[in-house]
Structure 1
Amino acid sequence: MDRTVIAYVIYLLVSIGLTVWVARTLSRNGRVFLSDVLHGDEKLADAVNHLLVVGFYLINLGFVALYLTGDDTVANTRQVFEALSTKLGVVLLVLGVMHLGNVYVLNRIRRRGVMERETQPPVPPQGWVAPTVGA
């Protein structure tokens, strides 16, 4: 079998495995964060979490597929490792950027919700009292 094909197979297996692992980890651990962002609405948090995971898969697996092609042929074992390290390094950077982008946006939403909660009084007004004379 051609070394280039071997490098492609290893790249696909590792990239897809990493994408699935990162998506599951983010989904499992991000659920609590989403619940806080969405003010404790568990059903909505689960739905948003699922949509984020699907989008994460689509973007990252699409990138992995598009980045599969290479200009150089792999002639020896050293070039297999060089090609794999370059491709996997870029995939890992894209996964990290996607993760940081999600966390940034969700944190901005959460921060806005916290600011809104702080501007509201803890107890709603009970009524109005007229000012007294001489006060």
Structure 2
Amino acid sequence: MTWTVGTYVVYLLIAVPLTIWVARTLSRNGEVFLADVFEDKAELAGAVNRLLVVGFYLLNLGFVMLYLRSGSAVDDLTGLFEAISVKIGVVMLVLGVIHFMNVYVFNSIRRRSRAEALRTPPLPPQGFVPPAMAYPSAGS
């Protein structure tokens, strides 16, 4: 096994579990947040959470696989550590950006849900209310 192949193996052994851990953490905490957003619709909150997790996996694991290839051959242990540090650093930055995008989406959904709740009248209409009549003033 060459140092380059060893770099690929170490990279995958770090990047894939890291991605899975972040996805599970986002899923667990996102589920609570989505349950708050979709108050009476727990099933919808769960479905949205699962769809976001699937998208997260597809995007990040796809990036991990595309970023696997090394630009140059790795010749020694020092090169392996340098290549891994760059690769894992970039993967962590991408995971962080995707995390903040998820938080932004969650917050947008929550904000829209709160705005909808404010637009709903507190009571249903009770019937026709005639316009106020103009009464003559006492001094005229």
Calculate the TM-score normalised by the size of structure 2.
Answer: 0.86
Aligned to 1:122: 122
Aligned to 2:45: 45
What's the Cα RMSD here?
1.8
Deviations 1:3-51 (A, max 9, x none): 1111111100110000110111111110011122223311011111111
- 1:78-97 superposed matches below 5 A: 78-97=78-97
Structure 1 counterpart of 2:3, which letter? Answer: R
Aligned to 1:98: 98
Deviations 1:63-122 (A, max 9, x none): 111100012111121111110010001111111111111111221121112112112232
Q: Is residue 2:5 matched to residue 1:2?
A: no
CA distance in 2, matches of 1:60, 1:128: 57
Structure 2 counterpart of 1:85, which letter? Answer: S
Per the alignment, in what secondary structure is the counterpart of residue 122 of structure 2? coil
Aligned to 1:109: 109
CA distance in 2, matches of 1:21, 1:6: 23
CA distance in 1, matches of 2:79, 2:95: 24
Query: Runs of 4 or more off by more than 4 Å in structure 1?
Result: 128-135
Structure 2 counterpart of 1:51, which letter? Answer: L
Alpha-carbon distance, 1:57 to partner: 0.9
Alpha-carbon distance, 1:61 to partner: 0.8
CA distance in 2, matches of 1:61, 1:74: 23
Structure 1 counterpart of 2:124, which letter? Answer: P
CA distance in 2, matches of 1:58, 1:120: 38
Structure 2 counterpart of 1:118, which letter? Answer: L
- What runs of 5+ residues in structure 2 fail to find an aligned partner? none
CA distance in 2, matches of 1:112, 1:52: 18
CA distance in 2, matches of 1:90, 1:25: 20
Structure 1 counterpart of 2:9, which letter? Answer: V
CA distance in 1, matches of 2:112, 2:72: 49
